[in-house]
């Protein structure tokens, strides 16, 4: 079946502009996660959504970052007033359900963001 999809695959923007990154999780997956991968910081958790529960935003690096998940499916990560240090690959992942025994997070291809 279809995996996690993300768009755009690449985004180049100018410092100070806002960007939106989109994630379509695997159908039926109730949990959705955003991570960031950069050379200096490795793979970092940003935010996760589980069903209708309040999202865990503990990994968001600043208030310029926000995310929403509409209808329990598609998610959008928004970065306002982008800075050069925001340049990274943004990865989305989804998993079936928080309580399931053999839970695995399946990752999308990522969005490579470059802030000039």
Partner 1 sequence: ELKVEQNPLFLSMQEGKNYTIYCNYSTTSDRLYWYRQDPGKSLESLFVLLSNGAVKQEGRLMASLDTKARLSTLHITAAVHDLSATYFCAVDKAAGNKLTFGGGTRVLVKP
Question: Where along the sequence are the contacts to partner 1 (CB under 8 A)?
Answer: 31, 33, 35, 42-45, 48, 50, 56, 58-59, 91, 93, 95, 97-110
- In the complex, what is the shortest distance from the CB of residue 79 to partner 1, in angstroms, rounded to a whole number? 19
Instruction: Name which of 15 and 98 has its Cβ closer to partner 1.
Output: 98
* Residue 8: closest CA among 83, 80, 111: 111
Instruction: Name which of 14 and 101 has its Cβ closer to partner 1.
Output: 101
**Contacting residues for 55 by C-beta, under 8 A, at least 6 apart:** 47, 48, 49, 67, 69
Question: What angle is formed at CA 55 by the lines to CA 64 and CA 81, rounded to 5 degrees?
Answer: 10
- In the complex, what is the shortest distance from the CB of residue 93 to partner 1, in angstroms, rounded to a whole number? 8
């Amino acid at each position: 079946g279809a995996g996690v999809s993300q768009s755009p695959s690449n985004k180049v923007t100018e410092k100070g502009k806002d960007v939106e990154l989109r994630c379509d999780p695997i159908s039926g997956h109730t949990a959705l996660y955003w991570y960031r991968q950069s050379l200096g910081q490795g793979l970092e958790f940003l935010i996760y959504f589980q069903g209708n529960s309040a999202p865990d935003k503990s990994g968001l690096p600043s208030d310029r970052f926000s995310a929403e998940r509409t209808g329990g499916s598609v998610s959008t990560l928004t970065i306002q007033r982008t800075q050069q240090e925001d340049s990274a690959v943004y990865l989305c992942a989804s998993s079936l359900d928080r309580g399931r025994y053999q839970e695995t997070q399946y990752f999308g291809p990522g969005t490579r963001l470059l802030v000039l």
